[in-house]
């Protein structure tokens, strides 16, 4: 019984080490930095870097809905640029970064946090309304 418990703990720890189960503070910081890099790419403007920050489904949805490549569609989306982060929530591999002018949603991928939705505004008792989002 003790051996099985030790094996279970070892497997769990190995999975966290390989899967990025860092502490909440570390994941919040990583999600915040990813959101800041995305917004910095919009300010630059550096559409290629901004497009690289999008999750695959979000990139596809943006290009399909706009009918043009991301590098042209992203600047036209007019995502509100913030001046500061108000709050960050991380739930497993998902995050929400609330800024003074926007709410961004992110997912953790093997190569880091990616934007799954941006330009999001809350609506009473309804899902957020987002300017760009994945399907």
**Token pair of 30, please?**
């990583």
Count Cβ atoms below 10 Å from residue 116 Cβ, excluding itself.
22
Predicted pLDDT of residue 16: 42
In 3D, which of 91, 90, 99, 95 has the Cα closest to residue 121? 99
Average pLDDT value for residue range 22-32: 87
| 101-132 tens-digit pLDDT | 999 999 999 999 999 999 999 999 999 999 99
Residue 74 exposed, middle or buried by CB count within 10 Å (0-12, 13-18, 19+) = buried
DSSP H helices, the chain, are: 2-19, 24-43, 47-52, 56-66, 70-76
111 is in which domain, residue-wise?
23-133
| 33-48 tens-digit pLDDT | 999 999 999 999 899 9
pLDDT of residue 1 exceeding 60, the answer is: no
Q: Is residue 66 part of a domain?
A: yes
Q: Is residue 60 part of a domain?
A: yes
Q: Is residue 106 part of a domain?
A: yes
Q: Is residue 1 part of a domain?
A: no
In 3D, which of 44, 46, 42 has the Cα closest to residue 104? 42
Q: Is residue 101 part of a domain?
A: yes
CATH number of 101's domain: 3.10.450
The confidence band for 3, taking pLDDT boundaries of 50, 70 and 90, is very low
Mean pLDDT estimate for the chain: 85
Say how far apart CA 86 and CA 123 lie, in whole Å: 18
What is the H or E stretch that residue 98 is in? strand 94-99
Q: Is residue 2 part of a domain?
A: no
Q: Is residue 123 part of a domain?
A: yes
> Count of domains in the chain?
1
Global pTM value: 0.81
Q: Is residue 10 part of a domain?
A: no
């Amino acid at each position: 019984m003790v051996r099985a418990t030790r094996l279970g703990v070892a497997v769990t720890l190995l999975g966290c080490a390989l899967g990025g189960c860092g502490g909440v503070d570390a994941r919040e910081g990583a999600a915040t930095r990813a959101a800041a890099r995305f917004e910095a790419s919009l300010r630059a403007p550096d559409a290629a870097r901004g497009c690289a920050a999008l999750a695959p489904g979000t990139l596809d949805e943006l290009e399909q809905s706009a009918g043009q490549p991301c590098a042209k569609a992203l600047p036209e989306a007019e995502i509100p640029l913030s001046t500061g982060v108000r709050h960050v929530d991380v739930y497993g591999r998902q995050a929400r970064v609330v800024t003074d002018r926007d709410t961004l949603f992110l997912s953790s991928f093997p190569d880091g946090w990616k934007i799954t939705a941006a330009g999001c505004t809350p609506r009473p008792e309804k899902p957020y309304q987002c300017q760009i989002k994945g399907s």
